[in-house]
């Protein structure tokens, strides 16, 4: 079915210099004494039918970035375009049209489903909100979507607590799928699941991508999962993107020292393989007072004086391969 | 999926079986509910339970001890205490349930507003804090002092005094619910604010509200008795338990039975309501037990 799909010009999602700062308030008068730089100027694109993996340690701002795009969190600044239309300045009401195109799958399949609604009602909620289906047809539409995600029609009347974790996440995916969106933002959709169930859900997401030509922004901290599902991968560190590249380039020829360290931490399923782990010193610095210059210089084994003073710009060092590091690239 | 084979066992049980299981596991609901039902029947059928007009004065038969004709004796004006106590049940139940309903509805509305609207929260909750700093009984007395004595006013006064506690409870539940991912998911699915409240917030406040409602009911009954006892509540011509006790206070040494019967009724009623509330709390949400 992909053959007939028109070739759209330009990316489906384009994020430019997205920032989300949280004010830190103190004292009786709640004076603003600082900012948490949760997301501090990130730019990336997601093409039609493409999966962009967004990886990073916990607390690096990847979930905040995902939620800002859907305006579940109001971004501080930046430009967000969906299919060429700017959406970051839309009001809550105007966002409704965007929500038909962009949907969200949540991390926790337990708390993201209302315990007092049946599975069928949960999936029907977006359909009812947008009046997509006539009242009498809603059940059939929901049953259709249930079949797509590998759930049975009879399960529509059950409540979330009667499902397993993997099945619950299927309900969450069904809810995101109900409106036939173009882009689904998946916020660590499998990190709360068992490994065996993770594979089922990942494969389901990939099958759905094939069938509906979906684009995914796939947020995760598990590199093995990201390698499996993504076409391109972006690595985040302390609110900044440090490297974006095609999956093959990133996993084969990682340029940024932080990416190198992350990759070396992936366990290899061969007990005799010689591991050359690159152990990082220290902890992630506080996003309230990020380090000067390159944010990674406090933990980078290759850091030089320049890294402390000057913040590296993200540059394209090879076609499609962007890195923010002074030590990498043609002039380094 | 491998789990499918096991699923039929967790399929919904017939409703009757589930109700019965809950009741067996929570005997407090059965005991409290049964006593309360009996008391409610007494209130409804008071005229048919060997009673006479509770206001009928017969000076010739004053201060009779409990005996064959006057089961609970007669008071200093020769009124039948049995009849007065039974009719008093009506006052207590009406005030208890009325105040509980009013405080619950009002508290729910205020709790939803304060939980969702930040600026309203700041103003309304300071007012609630102010109300809360005055003991409920004192506040009810003060409110009664500026109005006329009538059952409606007693209900309203007690409901206002109980309002802050209910508001606080609902606000707390709303605040924790609105941070739940499923509420965020509703926004992502395009559900508006009003619909989110109705579909996702309200149903989840029912259980704690129901429990709090029974506690308000019990405490309203006690407050009503206190108000009547000190002469600031139900008008003296209506036989409420507080009024009966109040009138008998001065002749306590000769006719203590007049005080004892309504107090026993009051204690049993309040106890049954509290038992019912405890049972419901345990049945509806075991985690709630720690919060209250």
The token pair that represents B175 in the structure block: 């605040």
- Quick check: is B23 in a domain? no
Question: Using CB atoms and an 8 Å cut-off, which of residues 181-220 of chain B contact chain A?
Answer: 181-182, 184-192, 195, 199-200, 203-204
- Quick check: is B284 in a domain? yes
- Quick check: is B45 in a domain? no
- Average pLDDT along chain A: 88
> Is the per-residue pLDDT at A31 higher than 90?
no
Q: Pick A27 or A297 by higher pLDDT.
A: A297
What confidence score (pLDDT) does residue B97 get? 96
CA angle B283-B287-B292, nearest 5°? 95
> Is the per-residue pLDDT at A269 higher than 80?
no
The token pair that represents B124 in the structure block: 């309304």
What confidence score (pLDDT) does residue B52 get? 82
The token pair that represents B243 in the structure block: 């009024």
Residue B176 at interface with chain A, using a CB cutoff of 8 Å: no
pLDDT digits (tens, 9 = 90+) for A230-263: 999 999 999 999 999 999 999 988 899 999 998 8
What confidence score (pLDDT) does residue A54 get? 95
What confidence score (pLDDT) does residue A28 get? 79
What confidence score (pLDDT) does residue A202 get? 93
CA angle A42-A46-A47, nearest 5°? 150
C-alpha distance across the termini of chain A, in Å: 46
How many structural domains does chain B have? 1
What confidence score (pLDDT) does residue A3 get? 42
Query: Cα–Cα distance between A186 and A209 in angstroms, integer?
Result: 13
pLDDT digits (tens, 9 = 90+) for A159-197: 998 999 999 999 999 999 999 999 999 999 998 888 889
Out of B4, B12, B188, closest to residue A72 by CB:
B188
Q: With contacts defined as CB-CB under 8 Å, which chain A residues touch B199?
A: 114, 117, 125
> Is the per-residue pLDDT at A303 higher than 90?
no
- Average pLDDT along chain B: 87
B183 to chain A nearest CA, in Å?
8
pLDDT band at B286 (very low <50, low <70, confident <90, very high): low
Task: Give the chain A residue nearest B193 (alpha carbons).
Answer: A92
> Is the per-residue pLDDT at B1 higher than 50?
no
What confidence score (pLDDT) does residue B74 get? 86
Paired residues of A79 in beta bridges: A16
- Quick check: is B63 in a domain? no
pLDDT digits (tens, 9 = 90+) for B91-107: 999 999 999 999 999 99
pLDDT band at B291 (very low <50, low <70, confident <90, very high): very low
Closest listed residue to residue A332, CA positions, set A276, A294, A279: A294
What confidence score (pLDDT) does residue B15 get? 55
B10 to chain A nearest CA, in Å?
7
pLDDT band at B292 (very low <50, low <70, confident <90, very high): very low
A111–B10: do the CB atoms touch at under 8 Å?
no
Residue A154 at interface with chain B, using a CB cutoff of 8 Å: no
8 A C-beta contact, residue A170 and residue A204: yes
- Quick check: is B236 in a domain? yes
- Quick check: is B108 in a domain? yes
A112–B186: do the CB atoms touch at under 8 Å?
no
What confidence score (pLDDT) does residue A332 get? 54
The CATH number linked to B248 is 1.10.3720.10
- Quick check: is B222 in a domain? yes
Specify the pTM. 0.79
Q: With contacts defined as CB-CB under 8 Å, which chain A residues touch B204?
A: 114-116
> Is the per-residue pLDDT at A8 higher than 60?
no
Which 3-state string (H, E, C) describes chain A? Answer: CCCCCCCCCCCCEEEEEEEEEEEEEECCCCEEEEEEEEEEEEEEEECCCCEEEEECCCCCCHHHHHHHHCCCCCCCEEEEEECCEECCCCCCCCHHHHHCCEEEECCCCCCCCCCCCCHHHHHHHHHHHCCCCCHHHHHHHHHHHHHHCCCCHHHHHCCHHHCCHHHHHHHHHHHHHCCCCCEEEEECCCCCCCHHHHHHHHHHHHHHHHHHCCEEEEEECCHHHHHHHCCEEEEEECCEEEEEEEHHHHHHCCCCHHHHHHHHCCCCCCCCCCCCCCCCCCCCCCCCCCCCCCCCCCCCCCCCHHHHHCCCCCEEEECCEEECCCCCCCCC
Q: With contacts defined as CB-CB under 8 Å, which chain B residues touch A179?
A: 190
pLDDT band at B192 (very low <50, low <70, confident <90, very high): confident
Average pLDDT over residues A109-129: 92
Average pLDDT over residues A122-148: 90
A152–B4: do the CB atoms touch at under 8 Å?
yes
What confidence score (pLDDT) does residue A135 get? 81
> Is the per-residue pLDDT at B4 higher than 60?
no
Residue A22 at interface with chain B, using a CB cutoff of 8 Å: no
Average pLDDT over residues B140-158: 91
Residue B10 at interface with chain A, using a CB cutoff of 8 Å: yes
- Quick check: is B82 in a domain? yes
- H/E stretch holding B18: helix B15-25
8 A C-beta contact, residue A83 and residue A101: yes
- Domain of residue B161 covers 73-291
CA angle A300-A303-A308, nearest 5°? 105
B182–A112: do the CB atoms touch at under 8 Å?
yes
8 A C-beta contact, residue A70 and residue A219: no
């Amino acid at each position: 079915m992909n053959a007939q799909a028109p070739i759209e010009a330009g990316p489906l999602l384009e994020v430019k210099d997205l920032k989300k700062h949280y004010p830190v308030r103190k004292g009786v008068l709640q004076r603003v004494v600082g900012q948490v730089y949760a997301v501090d100027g990130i730019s990336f694109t997601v093409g039609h039918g493409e999966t962009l993996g967004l990886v990073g340690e916990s607390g690096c701002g990847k979930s905040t970035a995902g939620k800002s795009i859907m305006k579940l969190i109001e971004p501080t600044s930046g430009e967000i375009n969906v299919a060429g239309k700017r959406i970051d300045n839309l009001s809550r009401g105007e966002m409704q049209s965007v929500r038909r195109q962009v949907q969200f799958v949540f991390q926790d399949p337990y708390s993201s489903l209302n315990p007092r609604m049946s599975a069928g009602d949960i999936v029907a909620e977006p359909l009812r909100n947008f009046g997509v289906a006539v009242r009498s047809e809603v059940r059939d539409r929901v049953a259709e979507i249930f079949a797509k995600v590998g759930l049975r029609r009879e399960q529509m009347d059950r409540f979330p607590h009667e499902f397993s974790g993997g099945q619950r996440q299927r309900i969450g995916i069904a809810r995101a799928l109900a409106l036939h969106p173009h882009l689904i933002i998946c916020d660590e959709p499998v990190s709360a699941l068992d490994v065996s169930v993770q594979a089922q859900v990942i494969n389901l997401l990939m099958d759905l991508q094939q069938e509906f030509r979906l684009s995914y922004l796939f947020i995760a901290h598990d590199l093995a999962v990201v390698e499996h599902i993504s076409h391109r991968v972006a690595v985040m560190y302390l609110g900044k993107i440090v490297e974006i590249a095609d999956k093959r380039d990133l996993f084969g020829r990682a340029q940024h020292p932080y990416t190198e360290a992350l990759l070396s931490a992936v366990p290899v399923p061969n007990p005799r393989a010689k591991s050359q782990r690159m152990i990082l010193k220290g902890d992630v610095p506080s996003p309230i007072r990020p380090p000067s210059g390159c944010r990674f210089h406090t933990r980078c084994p290759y850091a030089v004086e320049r890294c402390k003073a000057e913040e590296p710009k993200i540059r394209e060092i090879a076609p499609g391969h962007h890195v923010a590091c002074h030590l990498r690239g043609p002039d380094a | 999926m491998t789990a499918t084979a096991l699923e039929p066992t967790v399929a919904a049980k017939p409703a009757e079986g589930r109700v019965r299981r809950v009741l067996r596991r929570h005997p407090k609901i059965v005991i409290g509910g049964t006593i309360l039902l009996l008391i409610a029947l007494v209130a409804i059928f008071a005229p048919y339970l060997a009673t006479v007009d509770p206001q009928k004065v017969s000076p010739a038969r004053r201060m009779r001890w409990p005996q064959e004709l006057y089961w609970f004796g007669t008071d200093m004006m020769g009124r039948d205490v049995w009849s007065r106590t039974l009719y008093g049940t009506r006052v207590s139940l009406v005030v208890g349930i009325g105040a509980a309903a009013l405080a619950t509805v009002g508290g729910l509305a205020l709790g939803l507003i304060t939980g969702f609207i930040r600026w309203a929260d700041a103003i309304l909750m300071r007012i609630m804090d102010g109300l809360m700093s005055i003991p409920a009984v004192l506040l009810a007395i003060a409110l009664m002092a500026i109005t006329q004595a009538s059952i409606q006013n007693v209900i309203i006064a007690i409901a206002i005094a109980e309002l802050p506690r209910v508001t606080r409870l609902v606000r707390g539940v709303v605040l924790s619910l609105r941070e739940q991912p499923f509420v965020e998911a509703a926004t992502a699915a395009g559900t508006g604010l009003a619909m989110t409240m109705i579909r996702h917030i309200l149903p989840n406040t029912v259980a704690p509200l129901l429990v709090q409602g029974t506690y308000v009911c019990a405490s309203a009954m006690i407050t009503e008795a206190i108000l009547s006892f000190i002469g600031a509540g139900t008008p003296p011509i209506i036989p409420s338990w507080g009024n009966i006790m109040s009138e008998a206070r001065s002749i306590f040494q000769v006719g203590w039975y007049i005080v004892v019967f309504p107090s026993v009724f009051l204690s049993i009623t309040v106890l049954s309501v509290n038992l019912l509330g405890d049972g419901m709390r345990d049945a509806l949400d075991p985690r709630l037990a720690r919060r209250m």
